[in-house]
Amino acid sequence: MATRDEIEDELRRARRVRQIVDFTCAMIAQGQLARRDAERLVDAARQRILDLFPDGEQTYEIVCAPRFRRLLDEFTRTEPEVQRGVVLAFRARSSEH
């Protein structure tokens, strides 16, 4: 049987998880974030939640992940594909300087 201190500790950690989830959801819904930035925010929230409940990965995947996924799909903007590594050719110099 759990002690009063253990129960209070778990309740405190559960409140903290709710705060993290609520904050993350609000930032995604109101932040007009790029998808990549919002995904980083979700990754940070996930890590913090698992720090609080190390054995809670399955619960996270069932409860939090679908909510975050829906918000990411609904509220984030995709950035245009940036072409990287393109080198522009120099124009040939005329013989006149």
Q: What pLDDT is recorded for position 80? A: 65
Q: Determine the 3-state secondary structure of 3 from DSSP.
A: coil
Q: What pLDDT is recorded for position 82? A: 54
Q: What pLDDT is recorded for position 90? A: 65
Q: How far apart are CA 59 and CA 4, in angstroms?
A: 24
Q: What pLDDT is recorded for position 43? A: 97
Non-local CB neighbours of 46 within 8 Å, separated by 6+ positions = 60, 64, 65
Task: Report the predicted TM-score, pTM, of the whole model to 2 decimal places.
Answer: 0.77
Domain ranges of the chain: 4-75
Q: What is the mean pLDDT of each run of 10 residues along the chain (97 residues)?
A: 96 98 97 95 98 97 97 88 60 64
Q: Tell which phi-psi region holds residue 90, choosing left (phi > 0), alpha (psi between -120 and 50) or beta.
A: beta
Q: How far apart are CA 57 and CA 78, in angstroms?
A: 28
